[in-house]
Structure 1
Amino acid sequence: MGPAPPPSPDEARRRQLADFLRTRRAALRPDTGDAGRRRTPGLRREEVAQRSGVGLSWYTWLEQGRDVSPSDQVLLALSRALELSPAEREHLFRLAGVAPPETAAGPVDEQTAALVEGLLPHPAFVLGPRFDVLAANRAAALVLAGLVAAPPEERNLLLWLFGGGWDETAEAWQQTAQANLLDFRAEFARHPGDPGFVALVDRLTSASGTFRTWWARHDVHALEPARKRIDHRELGPLTLLSVQSRPSHAPGLRLRILVPGDDRTRKALG
């Protein structure tokens, strides 16, 4: 007899999920005072099931690597029961083959915030996966006034671009808007069924005929133009060079930096 065939990708993923659940369960202190009398550390399966409200048989099958498909509600309940960090929760979802829930837009971590401020005098801002603006320095607040000054729940790049007030026949706007839409489509595909993404697309589809037409094409690739033109109400026409990167410590975020692209813009921002 030859060697056993290697496990399939799905089987290997289920084994990793089972191992992950067991190690997280073993890392927790029991709620009762009999921890010292236990043969094994951490919680029992029954205690995890009770904490989470998930059936004991269902949880046992997950730890055994059975071919079962937990819902996102089950995974969220287990995340709370096992006291997982945000990174651990996302890892749990990935191992279960379920798209992680989108975290609410909020302040970025201290490292990213310091990076954005340290890029002054150049405008710099951070986008979340849904293209919400999570942080911006003072220069970005000046150049992108209508975007950064909006209420937090409305501070979304796509809402700003497709919300009216722009000359949609201008080539510069079309290049920027289309590139951002297609970049967002790739992110949308990474979050299938996520309510936050679905609600944003529904709103944009209802509000903008241009978005509705472009979204229906299902195009998936367009390069973000390096040179941008913004007709600023106070500063006049600005020509800017744009670059985007993903912080190594927060790859889910987009860091965008703008620098003057001509002498007039350099003087206006000076």
Structure 2
Amino acid sequence: MKLPPERRRQLGAFLRRHREALEDRVNPSGRRRTPGLRREDVAERAGLSASWYTWAEQGRDVALSDAALARLSDALRLSPPERRYLFELAQRRDPSPPSMALRYELPAELGTLVGAIALPAYVMDPLWRARVWNPPAGALFAPWLGSGEACLLRFVLLDPRAQDFIVDWEDRARRLAAEFRSDIAGSADPAIDALASDLNAASALFRQAWDRQLVLDREGGLRRFRGPDGAISSYRQATLSSPVAPGWKLVYLEPLAAEG
């Protein structure tokens, strides 16, 4: 795949900045030379030819393989976000993407934010468990949050009450399975694997979606719920991912006009 000239220029500038940010080289006299490593040093570390690396920094039209970029990322000691950005710039697929490191302590800022929202809102951890919610969410999602099952996936797929509570339950359940697959891409967390395995064993609908490898982003949009009296309420849902805590989500719902 050939990169457009502007993308090649950006890639070259990115490589150069990170090469220059590495430890300073000194000449035999002890005086500093140019900052960072020489191009030849980076090329040697990455198992590449010096000419190839030089041309890449200069923004020339050179072949960029997935494996070469991976070695170059290691040689430049890129952080996981920097590595992802390198592959995005080059429009290539990382053959060994860094595993997503998950944490399960509730981020304080998310708990504070939920309490400040007037709309129904709750926070889910990487295992899709509700960890904190405000009173409006507690009232709306009483069948779930009052069930004793914190995991949204387990409640929707395994609790018969979910089929009465969630309008268009089968479609929503299938979408949740596809969203979960997308959500855990890149994760090597044993707890995530265990949850997927349990759902595969316990839910035929989840198993069908999983076997078909359905993948969807967790999107907002219309959500409809049936109350104890049979009345249907409609909401517009939005999901916000935490930039500081991978896998954590804040979900809130805006009430829509009552259905006739």
- Residue 16 of structure 2 corresponds to residue 22 of structure 1: yes
**Which residue of structure 1 aligns with residue 237 of structure 2?**
243
Letter in 2 for 1:212: R
CA RMSD between the two structures? 5.2
Q: Does the aligned pair in 2 maintain the 1:75–1:93 contact within 8 Å?
A: no
- Residue 204 of structure 2 corresponds to residue 206 of structure 1: no
Moved more, 17-26 or 173-182: 173-182
Give the CA deviation at 1:69: 2.1
- Residue 89 of structure 2 corresponds to residue 92 of structure 1: no
1:35-65: CA deviation from partner (whole Å, max 9, x where unpaired): 9733321233466578xxx544278745643
Aligned pair count reads 235
Measure the CA separation in 2 of the matches of 1:31 and 1:166: 66
Alignment gaps of 5+ in structure 1: 1-6, 232-236, 264-270
**Could you tell me the TM-score, scaled by structure 1's length?**
0.57
User: In structure 1, which of residues 178, 191, 212 is the aligned counterpart of residue 174 of structure 2?
Assistant: 178
**Could you tell me the TM-score, scaled by structure 2's length?**
0.58
Letter in 2 for 1:228: F
Query: Cα distance 1:55–1:248, how it changes in 2: closer, same or farther (>3 A)?
Result: closer
Letter in 2 for 1:211: F
Give the CA deviation at 1:87: 3.4
Letter in 2 for 1:256: V
- Residue 225 of structure 2 corresponds to residue 228 of structure 1: yes
Letter in 2 for 1:94: E
Letter in 2 for 1:145: L
User: In structure 2, which of residues 62, 67, 70 is the aligned counterpart of residue 70 of structure 1?
Assistant: 67
Give the CA deviation at 1:160: 4.5
Helix, strand or coil at the partner of 1:228: strand
**Which residue of structure 2 aligns with residue 57 of structure 1?**
48
Give the CA deviation at 1:26: 0.9
**Which residue of structure 1 aligns with residue 36 of structure 2?**
42
Query: Cα distance 1:208–1:98, how it changes in 2: closer, same or farther (>3 A)?
Result: same
- Residue 101 of structure 2 corresponds to residue 104 of structure 1: yes
Give the CA deviation at 1:244: 1.1
User: In structure 2, which of residues 252, 256, 259 is the aligned counterpart of residue 257 of structure 1?
Assistant: 252
Seq. identity, %: 28
Alignment gaps of 5+ in structure 2: 57-61
Measure the CA separation in 1 of the matches of 2:241 and 2:256: 24
Helix, strand or coil at the partner of 2:24: coil
Letter in 1 for 2:172: T
Give the CA deviation at 1:210: 1.2
